[in-house]
Amino acid sequence: MDKLDELQNDAPGRIQAAATLVELDAVESETVGRKSPIAKARRGLGAIEDSTERAQTGKRINDVAVAITTQIGARRSVLEANEVNAALEADKVDVTLPGRVPARGTHHIVQQTIDEIVDIFVALGYEMVQGPEAETSFYNFTALNIPETHPSRHESDTLYLNYGDSADEVLLRTHTSPMQARHMEKNDPPVYIVVPGKVFRSDAIDATHLPVFHQIEGLAVDNNITFGDLKGTLAEFARQFFGPDTRVKFIPHYFPFTEPSAEMHAYTKGRWIELLGCGMVHPAVFEHVGYDSSVLSGFAFGMGAERLAMVRHGITDLRTMIDPDIRTLEQFR
């Protein structure tokens, strides 16, 4: 019985010490398996002649075997549960963790300004259209009643493209106004359009000049459009862009394609500031595009996007608009 006593004594410790199911299987085979002391004792039963003693020994073997098997079963449940939990733990996704937000870009301050201005006019019923950046001198000047002798036609002001020397030269448009003529040529009145886009001038870069900048052109043509409509529309624009209390004033000016012409100034941030050029469409412009100037009238305006962005954000140097430094750009999210 020594072996069985020994087994009964140390089996519980070995079972508890098994840290994995594999280790527990090994303990099981060593304690109650086919080569275990239990199996050996069972095989020895036949040699016991006394039937009472045989029965007692058999019961003793069985009790020990049942006790060990029960302990192994309990330990197995614990180890199995541990393994399942460990697998779940290793696999878990914490859906409550905050997400990783990708760094997002933003539109440039000039594009933001253009979008905002266009939106204001679209809400007033205008349509946005765009025109070519490479223009002919006809649309850029002639159709807009700008005489052959006008200084803005000179190479010192205008960037001409090398497309030959025909009378209708190709150039980089110096303003968005050519789209007035292009649009009216292709569309019957009424016309209510805004035209954002890049314009080009033969200027060196300094605090107040860029060779490439952006304008937003506007044109309204209908029956009975008056200077009052021009003033009301542009004053409303200034109020939406700068705030509801913004005052505006119109100062006489000269543009070849409008008559009368004016500059609109707005009072904002404590001072008067020139915002845009405007006027009533000159009859000569209507004639160039085949509109009947005896029944139609209209107004036009043009403004610089960089300039409006600077006024809005209190920027004093135009070069800020082309500064690619991330610290500059991040200020205007």
For position 298 contacting ligand DAH by CB under 6 A, the verdict is: no
For position 233 contacting ligand DAH by CB under 6 A, the verdict is: no
Q: Is 309 helix (H, G, I), strand (E, B) or coil?
A: helix
Structure tokens at 99: 């997400």
CA-to-CA dists, residue 3 to 9, 49, 61, 141, 257, angstroms: 10, 20, 11, 116, 118
CB 218 within 8 A of CB 151: no
For position 297 contacting ligand DAH by CB under 6 A, the verdict is: no
Q: What is the dihedral of CA 127, 132, 136, 142, to 10 degrees?
A: 20
Member of 37, 197, 277, 298 binding ligand DAH (CB under 6 A) = 277
**Least Å distance between CB 279 and ligand DAH?**
5
For position 306 contacting ligand DAH by CB under 6 A, the verdict is: no
Taking CB under 6 A as the binding criterion, the range among 95-103, 119-127, 300-308, 310-318 that sits at the site for ligand DAH is 300-308
Report DSSP state, residue 158.
Answer: S
**Least Å distance between CB 133 and ligand DAH?**
14
Enumerate residues 6+ apart whose C-beta is below 8 A from 77: none
d(CA 153, CA 324): 32
Closest residue to ligand DAH using C-beta atoms: 302
Member of 278, 285, 310, 321 binding ligand DAH (CB under 6 A) = 278
CB 242 within 8 A of CB 268: yes
The footprint of ligand DAH on residues 9-28 (CB under 6 A) is none
Taking CB under 6 A as the binding criterion, the range among 10-18, 37-45, 109-117, 276-284 that sits at the site for ligand DAH is 276-284
Member of 36, 137, 140, 258 binding ligand DAH (CB under 6 A) = 258
Q: Name which of 57 and 177 has its Cβ closer to ligand DAH.
A: 177
CB 193 within 8 A of CB 233: no
Residue at 169: amino acid letter? E
d(CA 179, CA 57): 113
The footprint of ligand DAH on residues 171-230 (CB under 6 A) is 175, 177, 217
* Contacting positions for ligand DAH (CB under 6 A): 175, 177, 217, 255, 258, 277-279, 300-302
